[in-house]
A and B are shown apart, each in its own frame.
Chain A
């Protein structure tokens, strides 16, 4: 039996995932719209099908359909200043179809703000527009290096409240045994995901880091069930074998690049080509690490802390050390920061981060202007120029 490659497997699995989601109501299941790093273990426990508007918006942009949705949202009065994922999704809500196909409308919303404050506003709007209940998991922003005890207590209090809300919505008791199972599976998948990513430290790097933005879909959508464990075992094993054979993604690895932030979903081809043509490989990115969420499954406070831990929920020292560690461990030659017009939470720390990283490590950083889903905020000419300038800077420092 021939095993699928990870690249082919992810396409198949994601297609199945969307098909299943679109069948959910037929099968008498409830559908939740969920934010990307939410503790979906709670929903897995209640057999609720989870759909991710962010993931859908990325897929729509990859299929060049984001402007259609954005036009609808902006004509409703939504400013072009707000997150393009939100604009694409709010446009989708009106249209009901997209270049990346349909997703079922939700019976409930499950919003976790560890990624930003934008999702709170976005999901408030969805709750009113779609007239469905909103379960809010508020994970306080970390101004201090570690969360305080009372913050963890608050989060656990919300977990307990969410359980009651779910019981009321689903009209059945919370399935604690499936919840426990889901927590185990979630940790398993997260560890496999982390292992897979960390192969990027190897020389040569066995993968094209851009592929991880596709693999990511499973750690987002299926973390906490068997499917994610299955896929990431496949990925980990595939990459492990490549490393054992000394097989690199590139025949000649000239530049090892760290990418900071979300990719340009509407022009992955350009991202791929600009690196490949210059023998550059993205060995790592700050973004996927957000899903390496591991915790003690017997302790809800540990779960709370883990879900509060992604770098966009943290203060500057953490963000700096997080990037510094990657620059060193992954033998990075240059950093590309995506100044993503939609993501102020990240962007406004970039200038300081870029300065500090270069100061401490000597590694050059370039910042490219763009947006995750809105192609109007992106200039191909500027992108190519800045990336080439980075490569030239790296060359100069080698001579």
Chain B
């Protein structure tokens, strides 16, 4: 096996075994682990307290207990989180930080406190008015509050210097991820949508410094190989996530190459650099103020369409695949203007409704195939 294959296989394993990664961390280091729920939460705070931040993104679970808490029209990620919580899957976490992301995800942590009362759930409420001085100050204070609550629960402290150090590390990591995405776009023969996702997903279950080393090595190995832009359509994907696995395999089957993404689970985590300031919590406030283009972050200028168009142009992509997570209100609200902006720019797009747990992707098959035929016929 080449070094590239080794790294990808390692990442695939990490991505598919989050619980194991947490147990391994705890037993090897004796340190604690804190869950980070979707979408926007500066996990640097957890890292700075010497704990492992663990991404909570739902999962491939059969939904049996969730319906005791939430109705059917709840998005599949939220349902899966509810299911896992009710099943006690989060008991090995010392705490969970849960951002107030949308109407659905604000109620889920309230239900989790009932379903699993022994796992403390700390709410994080980031501002809509994030750019005004009061907003930046508020974000900083919310994170100070998180640090304080974590200290109360775990005994672990955050200092200014440890937080600065974590922020610097995360800035490096995020830059490395964005660079990887560019290099991956030039090596479509090796990095297909499935493998691209393993690189992303594995970042949520191990220390960032470990993941950074793997990503840098992978990127360097790929760069040494000849450029291969793939045989099929080169697309930008947008939405919450590209799970489940069978969706990724389907994309690969029709030769799709993801040249860039605007996914909540991917580039929205990595694409904003944290600016400088003497106060590390203010730095987090400034980053949240600088971030643009998520359906769950207040954006009166509706910049997402423009951001997608820029991504398409930068990579000379053939089109955009819009992955609407079923029952995701924020994404559903954004879609008509994204559609309008893409159409005005002459960029073809495919609207695909997905769920995190999909036993059958047959309906998606026809659409993805037809779209690829449409793009390649142009």
Q: Do chains A and B touch in the complex (CB under 8 A)?
A: yes
Residues of chain A whose beta carbon lies under 8 Å from any beta carbon of chain B: 76-79, 81-83, 86, 113, 116-118, 120-125, 127-128, 134, 136, 138, 140-141, 143-144, 148, 150-151, 153-154, 156-158, 160-161, 315-316, 339, 341, 343-345, 347-352
**Residues in B neighbouring A349, C-beta threshold 8 A:** 107, 110-111
**Residues in A neighbouring B132, C-beta threshold 8 A:** 157-158, 161
Question: Once the chains are docked, how many angstroms separate the CA of A351 from the CA of B324?
Answer: 27
Question: Once the chains are docked, how many angstroms separate the CA of A134 from the CA of B327?
Answer: 26
The residue of chain A having its C-beta at the shortest distance from the C-beta of B68 within the complex is A351
Q: A117-B329, A121-B333, A124-B299 are in contact. List 8 more A-B contacts (CB 8 A).
A: A82-B332, A113-B128, A136-B298, A143-B98, A150-B145, A344-B103, A348-B107, A351-B71
**Residues in A neighbouring B365, C-beta threshold 8 A:** none
Given known contacts A136-B129, A151-B138, A158-B129, A120 and B123 CB-to-CB distance under 8 angstroms: no
- Assess whether B100 is in contact with A141, with CB atoms less than 8 Å apart: yes
Question: Once the chains are docked, how many angstroms separate the CA of A125 from the CA of B295?
Answer: 12
**Is residue B9 within 8 Å, beta carbon to beta carbon, of the partner chain?**
no
- Assess whether B69 is in contact with A341, with CB atoms less than 8 Å apart: no
- Assess whether A150 is in contact with B335, with CB atoms less than 8 Å apart: no
- Assess whether A345 is in contact with B129, with CB atoms less than 8 Å apart: no
**Residues in A neighbouring B335, C-beta threshold 8 A:** 77-79
**Residues in A neighbouring B138, C-beta threshold 8 A:** 150-151, 153-154, 157
Question: Once the chains are docked, how many angstroms separate the CA of A117 from the CA of B132?
Answer: 20
Given known contacts A78-B332, A315-B110, A345 and B298 CB-to-CB distance under 8 angstroms: no
Given known contacts A148-B145, A154-B137, A351 and B69 CB-to-CB distance under 8 angstroms: yes
Question: Once the chains are docked, how many angstroms separate the CA of A351 from the CA of B135?
Answer: 35
Within 111-154 of B, Cβ neighbours of A (below 8 Å) are at 111, 113-114, 122-123, 125, 127-129, 132-135, 137-138, 141-142, 144-145
Q: Which of B108, B137, B300, B334 contacts A134 (CB 8 A)?
A: B300
The residue among B109, B123, B298, B333 with the most chain A CB atoms within 10 A of its own CB is: B333
- Shortest Cβ distance from B322 into chain A, in angstroms? 11
**Is residue B330 within 8 Å, beta carbon to beta carbon, of the partner chain?**
yes
**Residues in B neighbouring A347, C-beta threshold 8 A:** 70-71
Given known contacts A76-B336, A81-B73, A141-B106, A127 and B127 CB-to-CB distance under 8 angstroms: no
Within 311-361 of B, Cβ neighbours of A (below 8 Å) are at 324, 326-327, 329-330, 332-337, 339
**Residues in B neighbouring A339, C-beta threshold 8 A:** 71
Total contacts A to B, CB within 8 angstroms?
A: 154
**What is the size, in residues, of chain B's interface with A at 8 Å between Cβ atoms?**
53
- Assess whether A79 is in contact with B104, with CB atoms less than 8 Å apart: no
Given known contacts A118-B103, A140-B125, A141-B125, A348 and B71 CB-to-CB distance under 8 angstroms: yes
Question: Once the chains are docked, how many angstroms separate the CA of A344 from the CA of B110?
Answer: 13
Given known contacts A77-B336, A316-B110, A344-B73, A150 and B142 CB-to-CB distance under 8 angstroms: yes
Given known contacts A125-B333, A315-B110, A316-B114, A351 and B70 CB-to-CB distance under 8 angstroms: yes
**Residues in B neighbouring A140, C-beta threshold 8 A:** 100, 125, 127
The 4 A-B residue pairs with the shortest CB-CB distance in the complex, in nearest-first order = A157-B134, A143-B123, A154-B138, A150-B141
The residue of chain B having its C-beta at the shortest distance from the C-beta of A369 within the complex is B71
The residue of chain A having its C-beta at the shortest distance from the C-beta of B297 within the complex is A120
The residue of chain A having its C-beta at the shortest distance from the C-beta of B82 within the complex is A348
Given known contacts A113-B128, A316-B114, A348-B71, A161 and B333 CB-to-CB distance under 8 angstroms: no
**Is residue B302 within 8 Å, beta carbon to beta carbon, of the partner chain?**
yes
Question: Once the chains are docked, how many angstroms separate the CA of A156 from the CA of B135?
Answer: 11
Question: Once the chains are docked, how many angstroms separate the CA of A140 from the CA of B138?
Answer: 10
**Is residue B74 within 8 Å, beta carbon to beta carbon, of the partner chain?**
yes
Within 80-100 of B, Cβ neighbours of A (below 8 Å) are at 98, 100
Within 4-44 of B, Cβ neighbours of A (below 8 Å) are at none
- Assess whether A348 is in contact with B69, with CB atoms less than 8 Å apart: yes
**Is residue B190 within 8 Å, beta carbon to beta carbon, of the partner chain?**
no
- Assess whether A348 is in contact with B74, with CB atoms less than 8 Å apart: yes
